[in-house]
Amino acid sequence: MKRVSLTQHLVEEQRLHNSIPAELRLLIEVVARACKTISHSVGKGALGDILGSADTENIQGEVQKKLDVISNEILLEANEWGGHLAAMASEEMESIHPIPNRYPMGEYMLLFDPLDGSSNIDVNVSIGTIFSVLKAPEGMGAPTEADFMQAGSMQVAAGYAVYGPQTMLVLTTGNGVNCFTLDREMGSWVLTQRHMMIPEATKEFAINMSNQRHWHAPVQRYVNELLAGSTGPREKDFNMRWIASMVADVHRILNRGGIFMYPADTRDTSMPGKLRLMYEANPMAMIVEQAGGAATDGRTRILDIAPHKLHQRVPVFLGSKAEVALVTSYHAEQC
């Protein structure tokens, strides 16, 4: 089999679709290189002294793991000097990170969840990195948080790396979704799946069932129908999976179909759901739509939501189109 590297793929995409100018290619390659470094740290585990807590809290009030902090640093350092970015933003930083004056300023803005699935780090279960790329608004001066307040439909690229039995990079620049596997010996990303498409027929769902008693009625109804299986209205049995790393759950859905849900619930109305719009839901929604699936917050297409703050949370329903449409229709019937 002829091996196609990430660089070759990006160059070919540019020739085909004119969608990846040199600066964006540099950006993607730098992010991919940073993910390679994170993957290397993840693989070392206790031997690299990367497990356990950093004993600090991030802006969301979550205790940071050492690897959350390390991965954030790796991404910041890798992306600062290339001249391709104007600013960055991260789950692990309260405010945006403008590119320091000593480096040239580029036209893109990068957002990331440096380490997704933190609760799985110490138990050797798949984790990942999620990223989203926006263009800086025309005529932008010194970047501010307001410049990042763009709907997900404005993303020019989105992707994630999953650090599992294999390290993979899943990427879209708006012309389908492609998957690269890290060749650990060669240190290179090799194209291993072209044009990933989410299978429509599915018998799998992913949700944290321990929150069931807090869910709103439309989610209760939808999940109860799945649980009723072949004797219920769906007339087939469903299986459940919950990895607690969104990257790993989404990666399974891209390959095997299904639906992923992290709904809002009755507990804290100031906190609609758990996942963050700008660097978790938006990039995943772009990938899922590009792979023929759908993503909503129960009512609205995720990519159409106008953001109002960097760390805002959003309910998430994504995956196979018909399933997302069904649970979304149950929300519409409710109002």
Nearest approach, Cβ of 130 to ligand AHG (angstroms)? 8
Q: Which of 69, 99, 117, 169 binds ligand AHG (CB under 6 A)?
A: 117
| Residue with the two structure tokens 């703050």 | 309
Is 79 annotated to bind ligand?
no
Question: In angstroms, what is the C-alpha Rg of the chain?
Answer: 19
Look at residues 175, 321, 170 and name the one whose alpha carbon lies nearest to residue 251: 170
Whether 149 and 137 have beta carbons less than 8 Å apart is answered as no
Instruction: Tell whether residue 113 is a contact of ligand AHG (CB under 6 A).
Output: yes
Instruction: For residue 296, give every residue at least 6 positions away whose Cβ sits within 8 Å of its Cβ, in sequence order, or none.
Output: 302, 317, 318, 324, 328
Nearer to ligand AHG, 116 or 289 (CB): 116
**Per-residue x/- track, 184-223, ligand AHG (CB under 6 A):** ------------------------x---------------
Taking Cα atoms as reference points, which of 200, 171, 195, 161 lies closest to residue 294?
A: 200
Which strands form 259-262's sheet, in the order they lie side by side? 239-240, 204-206, 259-262, 316-319, 294-296
Residues 116-135 that bind Mn ion (CB under 5 A): 116
Binding mask 265-304 for ligand AHG (x = CB under 6 A): ---------x------------------------------
Helical axes 282-290 vs 246-256, angle rounded to 10°: 10
Q: Which of 41, 118, 173, 296 binds ligand AHG (CB under 6 A)?
A: 118
Please identify which residue in 13, 113, 204, 265 interacts with Mn ion, judged by CB under 5 A: 113
Rounded Cα distance, 37 and 152, in Å: 27
* Residues 43-102 contacting Mn ion, CB under 5 A: 91
Euclidean distance between CA atoms 136 and 144, whole angstroms: 10
**Where in 231-250 is the site for ligand AHG (CB under 6 A)?**
244-246
Q: Which is nearer to Mn ion, 116 or 147 (CB)?
A: 116
The helix or strand, by DSSP H or E, that contains position 134, with its residue range, turns out to be strand 127-135
Q: What is the closest distance, in whole angstroms, from the C-beta atom of residue 143 to ligand AHG in the complex?
A: 24
Residues that bind Mn ion (CB under 5 A): 91, 113, 115-116
Residues that bind ligand AHG (CB under 6 A): 91, 113, 116-119, 208, 244-246, 274
Q: Cite the annotated binding site by residue number.
A: 91, 113, 115-119, 208, 274, 280
